[in-house]
Structure 1
Amino acid sequence: MRSRGVVLSAAVFSLSMLAALSSCTSQPSTPPVPPPPLEVTNPILPGDFADPSVIRVGDEYWAAATSSGWAPHFPLLHSRDLVNWELVDSIFQTSPAWSDGNYWAPELATDKGRYFVFYTAHKRGGPLCVAVATASQPSGPYTDHGPLVCQELGSIDGALIRDENDTLYLVWKEDGNSRGLPTLLWAQPLSEDGTRLIGEPKQILMNDTPWEGQLIEGPHLIKRNGWFYLFYAGSGCCGLQCNYGVGVARSRKLLEGWEKNPINPIMKANQDWKCPGHGSVVSDTLGRDYFLYHAYSTQSSVYVGRQGLLDPIEWGADGWPTINGRKGPGGRLLSKPVAFFDDFTSTSLVLGWQWPNGRQPTTGLAGGLLTLAPPSEQAANPIGAVLARSTNAANYTAETLVDVSGLTEGMSAGLSAYGNPDNALWLAIRSGKVEAWRRQAGKEQVLGGIDAPTTMNGKLHLRMRATNGKVFGFAVSADGTTWIDVDAEEEGSYLPSWDQGVRVALVAGGVAGASVRFDSLRITPE
């Protein structure tokens, strides 16, 4: 009896094991728990990096951003972890021949081993257009193919997607809000090489809900689980009165059936950031989705510009995405902005220097000095030569060291809080004087001045201090230690253009043949 019991127990055990094994093979396995999202400290792109677009290539990431009225056009950035970014180049070093300004919204895209940038620019003698450039690798060089679409009201914010039949499409915004009209998003087939439109355009979305206000724009499309998702921005993008937000719509087909998320906007302002929007989606190597977009810091406001932020996307059981629980931009706050210093000892300008579009100065580097000269048509302009850096904080001190030994009568050398060619504040050394100047709406005035201090080595230190991004004080020193105020406080809220932050600029000009040597520039956030 005991031996039979042992045999029976073994048989029962074997049947149990077979049932368990059968169950394991017939039941679907529990999907793995996704890893937590990256820990992000925002902004990941500190400074003026509006309308950021990002793609992943293998295990690396590439991003581009608006340059607007500054050149070179469309900064190009690289990252290996999606959080830490390095400026590596610009899409265009000079303006595409067909265009004359408004370099906005470069949308990076990749398709079948090819790389694209769809960008906005103003056509000479015409409207705003969406154009395309291509490259064989994401780092470039990019070959421009010119405009794809130039509607009378203006065409901006191009994006690339393949439809449910694998046909390549361009999606873009018609700029109706520029004339108080509704704004429409259009889709139209592209040639297989992506360089020309074919077929007919079709409207797929428009601004028709109250939060969107006068516009929707900045479309970015992805495919996920049989749906097309279109992320977009709505309402006013820029300036002190902005109220931008992020919305999303979805459809099973590209050209029809779009529905907007009933809880839109999925992102609006909070206590740290305002006017978030115009972004793009990227998946990391672990399959997690992120949204790279811009927003204004509530501390530095419009004076720094629209900075690049990153947040993870959460996908709900209903298939709709949300970002940070609809609590506005997330991540930890960057507590200590990075200082900038250039002593001009390199053989070429370090990346990140900019100049106003169409006014590239002449520069040279030798012996630890930067030589700066205006284009000939701007020689008489005291700030005809502009070489600028964006800022990353509302409170900072900028200092430069000017070689005054080579200044001749009428030649001007200075340090500026620069908005655009018509709006600037600057401290200038000219004809034995150190003077603070204002240019507002193209009109100039001297705010104050003193005799230039005597130098021991032929060099003078100029200092500019910014408070709250919009109040500026200027001082001069012969030794970099003892400072003399030239203009202690000057209000500069008028400086930034509607879509750009204020730059710190080295400036030169005043007379034909003007050429100024600078020893260094330091920008220290406070």
Structure 2
Amino acid sequence: MSFDFESGPSYALVPPVEYPSDCSAVVAAVDSVPTVAPPVEAVAARHYANIVLPGDFPDPTIAKIGDTYWASATSAEWGPVFPLFKSDNLVDWELVSHVFPGQLPEWCDANFWAPEIFYEGGKTFVYYTARQKNGPLCVAVASADQPEGPYTDHGPLVGQRLGSIDGFPVRDEHGDLYLVWKEDGNSKSKPTPIWAQRINEKRLALVGKKVELFRNTEKWEGCLVEGSAIVRHQGYFYMFYAGNGCCGKCCNYATGVARAQSLLGPWEKCPQNPILDKNKTWKCPGHGTVAEYEGRWFLLHHAYYTDSHEFVGRQGILSEFTWNAEGWPEFEGKSPQAAPLRNLNVLDVTDHFTSRQLAATWQWPVGEQPVVGVSDGQLLLTANAAGLGAMVAQRTFAATYKAVACLDVASLEPGTLAGLGAIGDHANTLVLMAGDQSLQLWHVKGGVRQCLTKVDLPANDCPKLWLRLEVWGGQRYRFSYSFEGVLWQAMPTESFAINGTYLPPWDRGIRVALLAKGPASSTVAFNQFSLRNKR
């Protein structure tokens, strides 16, 4: 991943190659706009079994608009909401913008899941899932004149009592446009019908009656079917769909396919289901969208990398399939083909805050967009008194990594704390906070905050303070500090490292965050941030 602060980062993964051990040509200071890999002509023929959206990018969608492929993915509880990537070859992706880069739609406040990009009539539509304020999960739609936006939200199309998720737009054999979605019955221990209902000509509302296509009936599907993605091929509609438990340590997600000559059915499930299942490298593959490129067929879907699993989250990978003699899609080995990266340094992050604006890869909790400035090589983060304070965060890419931040501690006002932390969600974090001549290590579990240890800092002797977080296997966490960034002192704890296995939410990976807690009149300055991935 490389940073270009004018257009955002690029995700570029090519055939596995070895990079210089010092990775200086791969991840340099963001001032110089580093590259991720050698030029295409310098490597072998492009390989289409890749991690193409590394990090926490569940439920990826893909659509071709003109000669360009566009992709997005679930944002869940992190803003900005619904990233928009573009590519001309399905492998190298550039983050261009977001569907909702700042303010959220008025009607919803959480669970920003499963966007689907749909282009027609010169406009781009994104059908997405979100939770109505004090209400159910709904499928809604936003539209734009250009795929990169800006987008206008049009609100929900459907929100059943049990919840409606995973909307997918598709035209039937007569040319009528339909929305296909899942009723979220599994949330109340009930079946999960897949419904279809016609969309009006403006593509912004449902009309007519809904029709059930099928529901979870097979043993491998467990308590649900969801994540529909439909493509037409040789007289049939093929629905790729996911079944069973999607997320977390005990997930058992897999991908199946069903087909029908008419969109409204009857639907026949493939006797070889699931057609895409786990292997030694990838676990719980599912919820993707089909793309065709130069006569080859691919599913862009998510899966957990077994070595990092829930600590990184569900990553976007590309799996190729072919059509067998019976007309069913087949994946080689019935499992994802993507190889793990040989050198994780290509995903390292370095930010010296020398650009005119915050890099597009920084995130924040949904509905809590912080006041942030970038000036003279500093990130200026306005404090917030609530909870953990204001925060900006980066995705993680491995279960073992080191993060370092340099804090302008001399400018901290009394009553203001600033620091570095590992964030699962608001209720589950580990953070090291500096301020009022002390360092405090906070353990937050289930919303209960405990100060594990506190260290006094010398008064007026350290204008800058380096904070370091080291993580091993996503489970052990150790915090240290330094006055010059060379000699480190570990925060004293009862054991060498803190057990952080409780941190990941059921559906998200860990983020590393910079935080500022205090009155809104206070501004915290960070001089640099780095994230280094390890095996």
> What's the TM-score, normalizing by structure 2?
0.88
Within 5 A, what are the aligned runs for 1:221-300? 221-284=230-293, 286-300=294-308
Count of residue correspondences: 485
User: 1:58 is matched with which residue?
Assistant: 66
User: 1:10 is matched with which residue?
Assistant: none
Residue pair 1:453, 1:478 contacting (<8 A) in 2 also = no
Paired with 2:462 and 2:476, the residues of 1 have a C-alpha distance of 32
Alignment RMSD, CA only?
1.6
Does 1:434 find its partner at 2:417?
A: no
Secondary structure, in 3 states, of the residue corresponding to 1:434? strand
Does 1:149 find its partner at 2:158?
A: yes
Paired with 2:192 and 2:203, the residues of 1 have a C-alpha distance of 24
Question: Shift of the alpha carbon at 1:433?
Answer: 1.1
Does 1:334 find its partner at 2:341?
A: yes
Paired with 2:418 and 2:449, the residues of 1 have a C-alpha distance of 16
Q: Deviations over 1:218-245 (max 9, x none)?
A: 0011111110000000000001110000
The structure 2 residue matched to 1:82, chosen from 76, 90, 96, is 90
Question: Shift of the alpha carbon at 1:362?
Answer: 1.2
The amino acid of 1:388's aligned partner reads A
Q: Deviations over 1:240-272 (max 9, x none)?
A: 110000000000001121000000000111111
Secondary structure, in 3 states, of the residue corresponding to 1:198? strand
Paired with 1:299 and 1:475, the residues of 2 have a C-alpha distance of 25
Paired with 2:197 and 2:350, the residues of 1 have a C-alpha distance of 47
User: 1:495 is matched with which residue?
Assistant: 503
Residue pair 1:219, 1:230 contacting (<8 A) in 2 also = yes
Does 1:44 find its partner at 2:52?
A: yes
Secondary structure, in 3 states, of the residue corresponding to 2:367? coil
Question: Shift of the alpha carbon at 1:316?
Answer: 0.5
Does 1:473 find its partner at 2:481?
A: no
Residue pair 1:41, 1:333 contacting (<8 A) in 2 also = no
The amino acid of 1:49's aligned partner reads F
Within 5 A, what are the aligned runs for 1:153-192? 153-192=162-201
Identity across the alignment (%): 47
Question: Shift of the alpha carbon at 1:214?
Answer: 0.2
Structure 1 residues 512 and 37, CA gap change in structure 2 (3 angstroms): closer
Residue pair 1:379, 1:513 contacting (<8 A) in 2 also = no
Paired with 1:494 and 1:192, the residues of 2 have a C-alpha distance of 48
The amino acid of 2:143's aligned partner reads T
Does 1:105 find its partner at 2:114?
A: yes
Does 1:514 find its partner at 2:514?
A: no
Q: Deviations over 1:264-311 (max 9, x none)?
A: 000111111101100000111x12111000001100010101000001
Question: Shift of the alpha carbon at 1:111?
Answer: 2.6
Q: Which deviates more from structure 2 when the two are superposed, residues 405-414 or residues 218-227?
A: 405-414
Q: Deviations over 1:437-460 (max 9, x none)?
A: 111111111111222257766101
Does 1:390 find its partner at 2:395?
A: yes
Point out the structure with max Rg over C-alpha.
Answer: 1
Question: Shift of the alpha carbon at 1:513?
Answer: 2.9
Q: Deviations over 1:44-103 (max 9, x none)?
A: 111000000011223321100000001110111111221111111111122111101100
The amino acid of 2:351's aligned partner reads D
Paired with 1:306 and 1:372, the residues of 2 have a C-alpha distance of 29
Q: Which deviates more from structure 2 when the two are superposed, residues 134-143 or residues 267-276?
A: 134-143
The amino acid of 2:354's aligned partner reads T
Question: Shift of the alpha carbon at 1:345?
Answer: 0.8
Question: Shift of the alpha carbon at 1:365?
Answer: 1.4
Residue pair 1:398, 1:504 contacting (<8 A) in 2 also = yes
Residue pair 1:52, 1:63 contacting (<8 A) in 2 also = yes
Within 5 A, what are the aligned runs for 1:367-406? 367-374=376-383, 378-381=384-387, 383-406=388-411
Question: Shift of the alpha carbon at 1:422?
Answer: 1.2
User: 1:443 is matched with which residue?
Assistant: 448
Question: Shift of the alpha carbon at 1:193?
Answer: 1.9
Residue pair 1:272, 1:298 contacting (<8 A) in 2 also = yes
User: 1:303 is matched with which residue?
Assistant: 311
Q: Which deviates more from structure 2 when the two are superposed, residues 240-249 or residues 502-511?
A: 502-511
Paired with 2:474 and 2:504, the residues of 1 have a C-alpha distance of 10
The amino acid of 2:467's aligned partner reads L
Question: Shift of the alpha carbon at 1:135?
Answer: 1.7
User: 1:14 is matched with which residue?
Assistant: none
Q: Which deviates more from structure 2 when the two are superposed, residues 150-159 or residues 405-414?
A: 405-414
Does 1:325 find its partner at 2:322?
A: no
Residue pair 2:304, 2:310 contacting (<8 A) in 1 also = yes
Does 1:202 find its partner at 2:211?
A: yes
The amino acid of 1:236's aligned partner reads G
Residue pair 1:401, 1:462 contacting (<8 A) in 2 also = yes
Does 1:344 find its partner at 2:350?
A: no
Secondary structure, in 3 states, of the residue corresponding to 1:211? helix
Paired with 2:471 and 2:460, the residues of 1 have a C-alpha distance of 26
Question: Shift of the alpha carbon at 1:42?
Answer: 2.9
Residue pair 1:249, 1:261 contacting (<8 A) in 2 also = yes
Residue pair 1:282, 1:290 contacting (<8 A) in 2 also = yes
Residue pair 2:280, 2:306 contacting (<8 A) in 1 also = yes
The amino acid of 2:311's aligned partner reads Y
Q: Which deviates more from structure 2 when the two are superposed, residues 86-95 or residues 194-203?
A: 86-95
User: 1:9 is matched with which residue?
Assistant: none
Structure 1 residues 307 and 455, CA gap change in structure 2 (3 angstroms): farther
Paired with 1:494 and 1:251, the residues of 2 have a C-alpha distance of 44
Q: Deviations over 1:163-183 (max 9, x none)?
A: 111111000000000100000
Q: Deviations over 1:324-383 (max 9, x none)?
A: 231x11132212221001111111111011111121211111111111123xxx4154x2
Paired with 1:90 and 1:44, the residues of 2 have a C-alpha distance of 18
Secondary structure, in 3 states, of the residue corresponding to 1:178? helix
Secondary structure, in 3 states, of the residue corresponding to 1:329? coil
Q: Which deviates more from structure 2 when the two are superposed, residues 406-415 or residues 297-306?
A: 406-415
Residue pair 2:48, 2:320 contacting (<8 A) in 1 also = no
Does 1:70 find its partner at 2:72?
A: no
Paired with 1:75 and 1:455, the residues of 2 have a C-alpha distance of 43
Question: Shift of the alpha carbon at 1:137?
Answer: 2.3
Residue pair 1:245, 1:276 contacting (<8 A) in 2 also = yes
Secondary structure, in 3 states, of the residue corresponding to 1:293? strand
Question: Shift of the alpha carbon at 1:217?
Answer: 0.2
Paired with 2:74 and 2:458, the residues of 1 have a C-alpha distance of 41
Question: Shift of the alpha carbon at 1:155?
Answer: 0.3
Paired with 2:85 and 2:471, the residues of 1 have a C-alpha distance of 28
Q: Deviations over 1:371-428 (max 9, x none)?
A: 1123xxx4154x2111000011111100000001111222111000011111110111
The amino acid of 1:433's aligned partner reads S
Secondary structure, in 3 states, of the residue corresponding to 1:218? strand
Paired with 1:341 and 1:324, the residues of 2 have a C-alpha distance of 38
